Structures are given as C-alpha cells and as structure tokens.
C-alpha cells in the first residue's frame, strides 16, 4: 500500500489499534476518538513524514495529513479492519432507491465524456443527413473518414467508460481501459459472427445460444459489446473488487506487477463467462416474451416495450430483440417487436428541446440543443447521458412518451418492413413495400408526433425545474488589480487572480481559531466571515475534492492552483446537515459558478463558527500568494493573487 509505513507509525504512536474508539476524516485530517489520549505521543507523530501537525479539538485527536487524507483513511481502515464512521446526512450525494442509485452512478460515469459524446453525435447526425440527401456517397473515402470520426467514440465506448467507471469504483484507470479494449478487441468481435458455431446451447429453447469458441473448455456465450454501457460498468466494478482483494494478500514488494496481472487474468474471463451470458439470455427472454405479448395485445406490448426501451439499450438487452426481428423479416416480411422503441429519438428530442428552452444554465443550453438535433437524426446517446439521465424526471418523461407512442402503434397495428436507421431515417422502414402508405405508416407518424409533443409538454410544464441547474451567476468584469502594476515593477509574472468564493468580511488567517489554518501549515490565504450561504468558484477549473458532508471543497484551477475552501470550524461534525453541494467531485466549473449552498444562520445556532479559510494548498510552488487588503469582498472581487 502507498501509505503503509505512515499508517503503521501513526497507529503505533496513538497507543495502538485497541486505543481507537472511532475514526473518521475531513478534508485534511484524520479525526480519532481515542479511549485514552494520554497514550498518544504528539511529538513523535509530528515527526512522521507526511504528518503536518496534531490538534486536540472538539473531543477528537486530529492528525493533519493534507488533501490526500482520504487515501490514507481508506488504507488505514483496510489495514486495521476498523469500522470508519459514515456520514449519511448528504442526501444529494446518496440517492435513495436502487433505480435512482443506478441512474446516478451511470450519469456520473458519463459526465467526463459528455463533450466528446456530443461532438460525435452531431457528426453522426450530419453524416446521416448528407447520406440521405445523396450529398455523400457511402462508398466514398469522404464517407469512410467522416463515419469513423463520428462512430469511433460510440464503437469503442466500453474503452472510454472503462476509464471513467474505474475512477468511480477506485480501480486503476488503465486497468478499466484495458478491460474495455478487451470487450471490443477485433478478433473477439469477429468471433461473435462466425459462420459455423461449434455447437448450440439450449437448442430449441427461448435462450438458444450458438457457441463459437470456449475458454478452458467452458462455453462462451457472446454478445456484441461495441457501443454497450452496462457490461463494461459491471466488469469494472467486478475488477475493482478483485483488485482490492488481491491487495490484501499480495506483498507490497511485488504488488505493482502481480495485482494488475491477476486482476486482468481473473476479471476478463469472468466478463465473458458470466456478464455476457446473463445479458444475452435476459435479452433473448425479454424479446421472446414481448413478442408473445404483442401477439396477445399489441397495445399493452407497445406500452411496455416503449416504456422500457431506454433501459433495454442501457443494459444491452436490446440485442436479444435483434435475432427475433431479423427472423420476422425473413419469415413474415415485417417485424413488430422493435418498432415501439423507434419513437425514443422523437420523445428524447421533445424532452431535450424543452430543457433547452427552459434552462438558465448556459453550459446546459450548449449541451441540450446539439443533443436535440442529434436525437432528431436518431443519435440519442448525447441526450440520454448528457441531459435526461442526470435529471431523472426528464428521463422518466421520455419513457412515458415512448410508452404512449407504443400504445398508438399497437392500435394501428404498425409494422416495420426493413431493417435500417432511426430518428427521421426510420421513416422508410414503415412504408409497406406492397401497398405503400397505409394505416401502419399513418400510425407511426401519429405516434412519433405524439411522442415529441408529449415529451416536450410534460418536461416543460411539469418535469423540469430550471432551479436545479441554477449554477451560474451573471458574469461581471473584475476591477483592475493594483497588484498587476506591483508585479510589473518587481519584474515578476502575474500567474492568476482568484476572486472571493464568498461574500463577506475578510479575516487574516492568523486570527482563525484553528491553529492548523492560523499557522499556515495548510497553505497561505485568507479567511472570510460570510454574509450569505453560497460558495462560488474563484476561477475556471475542476472540483478535485468534495467531502461527502459538503463542508469543504477543493478546486484546482486551469493553471494548476489548488484551492481549499473550508466552511466554518469543526463543521464536519454536522455530518452534512445544512450543506447542499451543487456540483460533484470531478465536475468542470467556471468562474462565478455556485459550488455549494449552506444555511448560515442554522450553523451559527448549532454553535459553530462560520469563519471560512480559503487557502492555496500548493502555494510553495509559487513565488508569492498575496491577499487582498479589502475588508469587505464580493464574489467578483479579487481575493488572492498568485505570483509565479
């Protein structure tokens, strides 16, 4: 383990594991409750490398580590077997219910790749339009390059999600990427479409599965993992558990090699032997059941297929529908199983356009309109993962709208006659090759129109509250900084001005009651006595640390400056009460954006000081950190100037 030596010395000098009553941590400190504090050797602990200092406060024995305290805490718990205290008050970070937890997990995994997802979706939509209008020939080199540009991200989606889900689950990111690459490895993909299977499992049953190859004699039931979502997330979660288990037993001296080696060796085959078959069989069972249901009641089947189509796509279960549909085309000349799902792009377009019109969040507008356009062209991933899924009501409105469209298609006995595109490019699929435009086609047109309009109306008037995305404030031009002239005279280069993250009265850091902040051990800066309960981003950057209780947040600016904002003193003890984060760890933020809100008066009534230190934790990397001389600051005033 990375901090094994540090942890052993800490435990030894606080009186051993048996002297620990409980343990938690905040942004910078391990917070112990000891049975007997007299057994702790303060001076010896202060001498330990990586320990900043020791503090006795609020009935706790606090060891100040720094911004990496979370990693130290996790390893300490793992090494000692202690049960750490859990913070449960932050409901925004821990959604209730398995479905909400699942949606929150998937949307957070997609957050880092949203911009590329949007770009690829737009390119795919434009290319589909150019091809339909015969502007670009499918056999041309132009089409080949543009198609690769738009489709590569979606084809290799498991590779990208392998990285982001690994970050989510605590797996080494490149292990996650490797597992994603294995799923879409060319020979694996090609093996799934072999001409002659070795044999067939469960022949004649609902889950009949051709076997094209085996692993150590065990049959491998294959699915198409390209563009899939859930298999790689499940695989990465599995690998993270394997990695943590191996870390317990493999000696530190050989861990860097053997842990990745064994993690891949164990996790990769399990993906193909367990996750693949489960996903494939569920898809086949669902496809057959819904096909049977459609024969009994097209209306009910259309509603069910329409409502759950987004879920089928996310879990990769829709692949189980494909062989049924292809068989229907070959034997019947038409298919009814998958047609309800073809209303999804239109419902998604209506929902996304409503959010685009209603939101006041500039960044969301920039995402929502391209997502609306790509949905019209049949590419729904940007809208799903970038707009609707993170806003659960909007996601449900899409499902409801598609379900209604499915009912209408069932009433009109709508059919598809050929395999083909989605969105507006699905229209030719519903034209009867023998009779042309008939009731089946009319039913499709009515259904998708209703899906688009209903999705828009439900979202605009009911499901979407723009306040949930009010994370921006009006941009205001900061006044000229007198430090600029000072730095010119000194011949130094001004690296960055950081605006105040709170409105209020400035307090010298030396006057903060917490000695760790007051002594400057955690970095240079200034404190603010806030006059309102909002924290703003002092510069463009990324939220690199957000403690679950919401009482402290770390932002790394685009210039690499690491800023720590700690609301109040010992407010970690409130366990998230009165704090409402507006961002998540890993989010990109813009200067002036609201990062979190807190109930100022309620915190005071609980007896806590609300003086908020704002420090540059990596200030030693720069020539100087200069604090403002203003006694009162607003969020557009310069608070700190970092000089390089």
Cα 283 from Cα 317, distance rounded (Å): 4
Q: Which residue among the candidates 25, 26, 496, 551 is catalytic per the annotation?
A: 26
User: CA neighbours within 13 Å on the CB side: how many for 628?
Assistant: 26
CA 617 to chain centre: 26
Active site residue 496: no
Cα 401 from Cα 306, distance rounded (Å): 8
**Residue 494, beta-bridge partner list:** 643
Helix (H) or strand (E) holding 174: helix 173-183
Cα 452 from Cα 444, distance rounded (Å): 12
Handedness of CA 383, 385, 386, 387 (dihedral sign): positive
Cα 587 from Cα 282, distance rounded (Å): 35
Cα 230 from Cα 589, distance rounded (Å): 28
Cα 460 from Cα 592, distance rounded (Å): 27
Q: Which residue among the candidates 25, 318, 551, 566 is catalytic per the annotation?
A: 566
Helix (H) or strand (E) holding 23: strand 20-25
In whole angstroms, how far apart are CA 290 and each of 322, 324, 401, 564? 13, 10, 19, 54
User: CA neighbours within 13 Å on the CB side: how many for 93?
Assistant: 20
Tokens of 313: 């796509």
Query: Would you tell me how many other CB atoms lie within 10 Å of the CB of residue 329?
Result: 15
Asked if residue 508 lies in contact with residue 526, where contact means CB atoms within 8 angstroms, the answer is yes
Asked if residue 55 lies in contact with residue 62, where contact means CB atoms within 8 angstroms, the answer is yes
Tokens of 212: 């094209």
How are strands ordered across the β-sheet holding 20-25? 20-25, 29-34, 60-64, 53-57
User: Quick one: which of 150, 113, 588, 125 has its CA closest to 385?
Assistant: 113
Cα 351 from Cα 331, distance rounded (Å): 37
Cα 420 from Cα 147, distance rounded (Å): 16
Ordered alpha helix ranges (H), 271-335? 276-296, 298-315, 322-331
Quote the crossing angle between the two packed helices 344-358 and 439-458, to the nearest 10°.
30
Tokens of 267: 């996790």
Query: Would you tell me how many other CB atoms lie within 10 Å of the CB of residue 405?
Result: 33
Cα 616 from Cα 66, distance rounded (Å): 12
User: Quick one: which of 608, 467, 498 has its CA closest to 563?
Assistant: 498
Asked if residue 505 lies in contact with residue 531, where contact means CB atoms within 8 angstroms, the answer is yes
User: Quick one: which of 114, 104, 80 has its CA closest to 8?
Assistant: 80
Asked if residue 549 lies in contact with residue 637, where contact means CB atoms within 8 angstroms, the answer is no
Tokens of 604: 């005071």
Asked if residue 237 lies in contact with residue 270, where contact means CB atoms within 8 angstroms, the answer is no
Quote helix, strand, coil % in the chain, to nearest 5.
55, 15, 30
Please give the positions annotated as active site. 26, 566
């Amino acid at each position: 383990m990375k901090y094994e030596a540090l942890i052993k010395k800490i435990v030894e000098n606080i009186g051993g594991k048996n002297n620990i009553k409980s343990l938690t941590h905040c942004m910078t400190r391990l917070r112990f409750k000891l049975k007997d504090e007299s057994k702790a050797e303060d001076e010896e602990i202060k001498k330990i490398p990586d320990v900043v200092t020791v503090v006795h406060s609020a009935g706790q024995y606090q060891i100040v580590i720094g911004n990496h305290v979370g990693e130290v805490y996790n390893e300490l718990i793992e090494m000692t077997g202690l049960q750490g205290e859990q913070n449960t008050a932050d409901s925004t970070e821990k959604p209730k219910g398995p479905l909400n937890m699942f949606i929150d997990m998937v949307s957070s995994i997609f957050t880092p790749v949203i911009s590329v997802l949007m770009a690829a979706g737009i390119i795919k939509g434009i290319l589909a339009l150019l091809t339909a209008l015969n502007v670009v020939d499918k056999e041309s080199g132009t089409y080949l390059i543009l198609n690769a540009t738009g489709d590569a991200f979606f084809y290799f989606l498991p590779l990208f999600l392998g990285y982001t889900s690994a970050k989510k689950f605590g797996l080494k990111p490149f292990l996650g990427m490797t597992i994603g690459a294995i799923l879409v490895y060319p020979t694996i993909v090609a093996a799934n479409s072999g001409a002659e299977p070795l044999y067939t499992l469960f022949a004649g049953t609902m889950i009949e599965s051709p076997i094209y190859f085996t692993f150590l004699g065990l049959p491998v039931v294959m699915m198409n993992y390209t563009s899939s979502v859930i298999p790689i997330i499940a695989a990465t979660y599995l690998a993270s558990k394997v990695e943590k288990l191996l870390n317990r037993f493999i000696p530190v001296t050989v861990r860097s090699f053997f842990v990745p080696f064994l993690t891949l060796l164990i996790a990769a085959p399990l993906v193909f032997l367990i996750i693949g078959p489960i996903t494939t069989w569920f898809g086949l069972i669902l496809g057959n059941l819904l096909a049977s249901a459609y024969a009994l009641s097209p209306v009910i089947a259309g509603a069910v297929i329409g409502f759950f189509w987004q879920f089928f796509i996310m879990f990769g279960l829709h692949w189980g529908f494909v062989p049924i549909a292809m068989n229907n085309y070959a034997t019947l000349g038409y298919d009814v199983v998958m047609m309800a799902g073809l209303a999804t792009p239109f419902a998604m377009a209506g929902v996304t356009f409503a959010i685009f019109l209603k939101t006041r969040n500039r960044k969301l507008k920039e995402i929502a309109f391209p997502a609306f356009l790509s949905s019209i062209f049949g590419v729904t991933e940007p809208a799903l993962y970038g707009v609707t899924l993170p806003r659960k009501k909007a996601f449900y409105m899409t499902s409801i709208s598609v379900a209604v469209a499915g009912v209408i298609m069932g009433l009109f006995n709508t059919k598809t006659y050929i395999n083909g595109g989605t969105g507006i490019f699905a229209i030719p699929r519903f034209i009867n090759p023998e009779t042309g435009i008939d009731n089946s086609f009319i039913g499709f047109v009515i259904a998708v129109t209703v899906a688009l309009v209903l999705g828009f109306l439900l979202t605009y008037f009911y499901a979407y509250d723009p306040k949930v995305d009010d994370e921006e404030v009006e941009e205001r031009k900061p006044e000229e900084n007198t430090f600029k002239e000072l730095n010119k005279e000194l011949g130094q280069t001004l690296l960055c001005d950081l605006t105040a993250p709170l409105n209020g009265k400035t307090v010298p850091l030396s006057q903060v009651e917490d000695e760790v902040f007051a002594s400057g051990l955690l970095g240079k800066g200034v404190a603010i006595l806030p006059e309102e309960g909002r924290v703003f981003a002092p510069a463009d950057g990324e939220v690199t640390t957000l403690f679950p209780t919401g009482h402290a947040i770390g932002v790394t600016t685009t210039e690499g400056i690491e800023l720590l904002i700690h609301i109040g003193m010992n407010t970690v003890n409130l366990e998230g009460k009165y704090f409402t984060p507006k961002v998540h760890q890993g989010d990109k933020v813009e200067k002036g954006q609201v990062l979190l809100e807190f109930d100022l008066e309620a915190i005071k009534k609980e007896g806590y000081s609300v003086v908020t230190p704002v420090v540059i934790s990596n200030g030693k990397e720069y020539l100087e950190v200069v604090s403002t001389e203003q006694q009162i600051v607003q969020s557009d005033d310069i608070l700190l100037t970092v000089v390089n």
